[in-house]
Structure 1
Amino acid sequence: MPSEPSTRPAPVLPHPLPGAVGLSHLNAYEWEAADGVCGGSPHLHLVCTEAYVVTGGHGAVQTLGPGGYREIPLEPGSLAWFTPGTVHRMVRGGDLRITVLMQNSGLPEAGDAVFTFPPEVLADPDRYAATATLPTRTGPRAEAAARKRRDLAVEGYLPLRAALLAGDEAPYLAFQRAAARLVRDKVPGWRELWRAGALAAAERTGAQLTALEAADPTHLAEAGTYATGPTRRGGYGMCGRRDEYELPGVTIARRDG
């Protein structure tokens, strides 16, 4: 007969998720923006691909890229992902809930994500940082700051979208250049996070393949099972209220709500 399930607590997590990806859950913001749309703060990532797995409700994701403007419908079971440089904005239809998978866990929290603020904000690193950072505690003050941040990102986003719809890529490309200048000094720190996370995960696989070519199963002695739950619920993320996990080795504490 099968043995009874173990009631021992799960061990401390010494290993990251597969591929050192990041994981969080989002419930899209209900706040209406200047264009009448309810949803999140438009932004891009400079080195991370992001994926949305829709678990409830419906809505859309608006994207700006070299191919122009797109609006992709989202419903339960939908999977959408965006490569670096794609401006994306989550749009709420009805109670949109999403699980987010993020390449290079730790880098978005370290500044890889750049909001589509107006050019004068992007040109001033100190002003950008002050505008992008939220109070550390949730509550009315944090909510007001998150909404103000979202509205400013939409203010910068709408002219980018209008230009692309008119066939003019210049403002979109200028935003990408401004984002790259804004984060240039952060790259050495990002490189260390990448080495500790995604690169280390890939190198472990290479070492395991080398061992198996020699019929050496030594690494299997490290087999383990791990479990955890969200370590923070209801924070103010870029696109909605965010439940997040502190995962080992690569994820750093968020400095914004």
Structure 2
Amino acid sequence: MARAQPPFGATDAAYEDWARAEVARWTAAVLKPPGPLDVAARDLQGHINRLIPERVHATLTSVVEGMTRTILTGADLTTAPPLIGASLAQRDRRALEVIRGYRRTAAVEGGVAGAGGVWLALADFPALLVIKIKLLFDLSAVYGHEADAFGERLYILALFQLAFSGAGHRAEVFRGLEDWDARAHPQDYAHFDWRRFQQEYRDHIDLAKMAQMIPVVGAPVGAIVNWRLLERLGETAMNGHRMRWLARP
């Protein structure tokens, strides 16, 4: 999804009107039903999953679940203090700077992993997950939220799912994000469907990341794929936070 250039020189009211239109455009794209290519890619992903040894599936499942549980428990994660008193335009400008930095980091990491063959390419899965999680934490702070709060971590998990899920699950997650601050949320993760989370995530990125294991082309493919995955996550997070900002009283 192409991102329009934000009118940073506009008044706060005019900027919020622009942001509202951007959120509407993004929402339409998020809720768009899957097309023939999406269905074909999903079918191909299912075929690839059946070819991958079960021990690899088990390892990836364990890594994804373990690391996402770390998000909720707070172990080994540090967060920046929330940005106070800034306008939406100022927050968006800062968010774009943060995304650019993480995009570069992810591209370098993906290139190095791709150049190292199958085992380093497999190691890229948890490394890239850490980069994505840290990006979401930093963006939460940019938009004025306290990422140490449990409810905020649920919001971060929802943004993650929204960026890396199939069309059906994406619509379900989006509805859960609407009017987020006006609703009560669980205070533990007993309700959370870890299996659905990791399967949607893996199904969404596995097809692209498999090419990273191919000799010679693995390095450039790894760099490009990681760049685009961070780009998608950044746009999803920005619009999710814009939607939340515009819904405030």
What TM-score does the superposition give when structure 1 sets the normalisation length? 0.31
Q: Per residue, is there more strand in 1 or in 2?
A: 1
Q: Which has the larger radius of gyration?
A: 1
Structure showing the higher helix proportion among its residues: 2
